[in-house]
Amino acid sequence: MILKLINKDTLIIDEFKFKCCIGKNGLKTSKIEGDKSTPKGKFELGTLYWRKDRINKIETSLNKKIIKKNMRWCNDINHSNYNKEITNRRIKSEKLFRKDNKYDCFILIKYNYNRPIKNKGSAIFLHLTKDYKKTAGCIAVNKKDFFIIAKILTKKSRIII
């Protein structure tokens, strides 16, 4: 199953089309940390993270993990856990348990993930949006569409950006 970004505001999977938004600075093949661009390429999808206090149930065959208050994503280019989930607040990182709804549920896009290269970019997710404003590099869809996408995807699914 392939999820494909066909332009800066449309994702497709099978016969389904979904409105989306991408990074503020568009698509890049040579992404760097903090450049607000979405990386181009074909990537595996990882775990679906979700807030149990805000969402009752998500139907998916992807691996799932409940987001806890201490969870973060490391974006410190000099740390050994760069572009990985962490719980240490003292390390430069992004909170996953947020006040807004963007990360109520998200799917990891395995960009620069397996063997992360320093400064090549981190925390690239398929997450939620209410207003389709440009992201810091992720792809975002509305909640209803996210649930449809999550239901269709399998552990072998890929995303082409």
The pLDDT tens digits for 93-143 are 999 999 999 999 999 999 999 999 999 999 999 999 999 999 999 999 999
Q: pLDDT (tens digit, 9 = 90+) per residue, 47-103?
A: 999 999 999 999 999 999 999 999 999 999 999 999 999 999 899 999 999 999 999
Q: pLDDT (tens digit, 9 = 90+) per residue, 88-97?
A: 989 999 999 9
Number of domains in the chain: 1
Predicted confidence band of residue 19 (pLDDT cuts 50, 70, 90): very high
Token pair of 131 as six digits: 């207003």
Which of the 8 DSSP states describes residue 116? P
Domain that holds residue 8: 2-160
Of 156, 147, 135, the C-alpha closest to 16 is 147
Q: Which secondary-structure segment (H or E) carries 147? A: helix 143-152
Judge contact between 52 and 68, C-beta under 8 A: no
